[in-house]
A and B are shown apart, each in its own frame.
Chain A
Amino acid sequence: MGILFLAFFLLFSVAADADFTDNLRWSVDASARLNNNVMAKNISYITALGLDSHKVFTSSNGDIGYAVGQLYFTKLSNQTPVPWMFNSKNDSKFVIREAHLNYTAGPNWIPNIRFGHFTLPFGLEESIDTNGRLLDYNLGKNLGTKLDWGLGLNQVLNQLEYSFSYTLGGKDEPKSVNDSYALSGRIGSLSHLDFIFGFSFFSSKIDNIQREKFAIDWQYYWNTWGLVGEVVLGRDKRERHQWRKEQYYLLELHKTSISEQLKLYGQYIFINKEAEYSNQQLINIGLSYQIGAKLELSISSRQQLNAPKSGNKQNLIRLQLRYRY
């Protein structure tokens, strides 16, 4: 945390001649999400009100770097299972999502340096941001956390881009907990192209679980269609247990309207965990509709195709309204 304050101080010092509101973007971001867990006969709500900001720091010779800050007050109502950062199904708290600085002013051959709380560079999420959306690429479940505090190196070169990070494994806390850590990285083709592919790795100890993962992800776009996929292979090990293999496969087909107001997607997900005896096959379908520049309506349905060894099949319907001022 001290390093983050020092970094802010240095950036503000260098850019002290500029007004802080120069090159500043900010939005109030409000969302209300309804979750209907049909099989469990449980309806829950998650409401969030936050500030999303982005600031580019400059000197007269060019950009020095940028900062992203996202602070949200989040309230659960009857939410089960309870997300790890909350204490009960009706809890509420302030949540820091992204809070990082990316120093970009080095010579071209030196990578940018990122520090703070950021999304771990791994798989599809690195080029398709799902922050605050119903669309999800399972990053948090695959890695044990979606965001973490630490340090990263990133760069866009002529033909490829990469991002590597070393983080503390404390998830929402800027510290290492019981020797926790996470080493993560992705190298891929340029993310604005029509065909994108990437390779990722991950090694960590988070919540006393060791994880080792490798992933291949790809995206192919044709007209208003997109075909997206990810394969994650790896293993995890809890204390006093053996290593257990895991496989995760995702295939997504999506379509946007030509104005891009309407987006439709369908996902097939296959998850196989050695410890769980049976695999999970899931279908996600969803849509989002952008009403003007500020309001977005999203709906998704998640259905499990195969019967689990115990319990009910997953059947979750979600609806979200999101308003950004």
Chain B
Amino acid sequence: MKTLLTFILFVLLEQNVHAVAYCSLRDPIAQIEQLFPLKTNQLSIVRSVNNDIRNQVKLALPSNDLHFSELGKHTLYVAMNKSEALGYVHVRSEQSTWGLVEIIWALDKDLKIKNFAFQRCRSPKKKIINDDNFKKMFIGKNYQDLKKLLSSDGVTANSTLLDKARNAPQLASVILRCALKTLLITDILWGEELQKFNR
């Protein structure tokens, strides 16, 4: 009876779930190779995005929240060339008028954006990602640099970024919000552990 109660308590305390069966999980192998062509393997580090992390995101980025699918266990991939870490890969989703946009972010070891690609984007404006002038607004930037591109409402991009976004202002804001959440969550959840790769 005691064992059963302990089990039930343990089960009820477990907050982080994945809404679909785990056999549907897939590593974004093709995209990691695209972003880190020299990688020989990837090292997965799984951590929980829980309500505490969600509240920290809301505090740091007022007017923003995490989609329910963003709660639960998530993987950060360390792109490896044999025993050397090349950088990190993190996939995050952002809600948009075209459903969830999933972006795969490549970060360098200083947690600056190295590159990014859509894993899933059903916006008709998704070719914006091939525009070098738009991409340069993100590459080499860290969380603080990118936060300067957010307008005062906390959810849309300001004119500095929108000037480069041509006819896709809505998608540009989605990408910016996703970048900010990715950098913030990566730092909060994995930052300490990733320091070993900088030695």
Contacts and interface: CB of A to CB of B under 8 A. Distances in A.
B19 A25 contact: no
B60 interface: no
A257 B60 CA distance: 28
Interface in A2-29: 22-29
B42 A62 contact: yes
B24 A260 contact: no
Contact of A223 (B44, B98, B119): B98
Contact of B41 (A54, A105, A324, A325): A105
Contacts of A104: 27
A74 B82 CA distance: 45
A258 B67 CA distance: 11
A104 B28 CA distance: 13
Contacts of A56: 44, 46, 75
Contacts of B72: 293
B100 interface: yes
A61 B80 contact: yes
A292 interface: yes
Contacts of B34: 158
A68 B98 contact: no
Contacts of A58: 43-44
Given A27-B22, A56-B44, A129-B20, A260 B99 contact: yes
A52 interface: yes
Interface in B3-61: 11-12, 14, 17-31, 33-34, 40-46
Contact of A192 (B19, B20, B28, B82): B28
A192 B28 CA distance: 9
A70 B23 CA distance: 9
A314 interface: no
Nearest to A257: B99
B46 A23 contact: yes
Interface in A87-146: 97-98, 104-105, 107-108, 118-119, 129, 131-132
A157 B30 CA distance: 6
Given A23-B46, A190-B30, A223-B99, A260 B18 contact: no
B160 interface: no
B120 interface: yes
Interface residues of A, number: 54
A131 B21 contact: yes
A192 B41 contact: no
A58 B72 CA distance: 20
Contacts of A292: 68
Contacts of A60: 43, 83
B12 A325 contact: yes
B97 interface: yes
Contacts of A247: none
Nearest to B120: A192
A61 B83 contact: yes
B68 to A, nearest CB: 5
Interface string A181-210: 000000000111010000000000000000
A258 B123 CA distance: 12
Contact of B43 (A63, A98, A224, A293): A63
Nearest to B77: A63
A258 B80 CA distance: 35
A26 B67 CA distance: 20
Contact of A27 (B18, B26, B123): B18
A53 B22 contact: yes
B44 A70 contact: no
Contacts of B46: 22-25, 56
Interface string A47-60: 00000111010101
Contact of A25 (B22, B27, B83, B123): B22
Given A28-B14, A56-B44, 19 more contacts: A24-B46, A27-B14, A54-B22, A56-B46, A58-B44, A61-B83, A63-B41, A63-B43, A131-B21, A158-B33, A192-B31, A194-B120, A221-B122, A222-B122, A223-B122, A258-B96, A260-B100, A261-B68, A325-B11
14 contacts: A24-B46, A58-B43, A63-B27, A107-B40, A131-B21, A156-B30, A192-B31, A192-B120, A258-B98, A258-B99, A259-B67, A260-B69, A261-B68, A294-B17
Interface of A: 22-29, 52-54, 56, 58, 60-63, 68, 70, 97-98, 104-105, 107-108, 118-119, 129, 131-132, 156-158, 161, 190-192, 194, 221-224, 256, 258-261, 290, 292-294, 296, 324-325
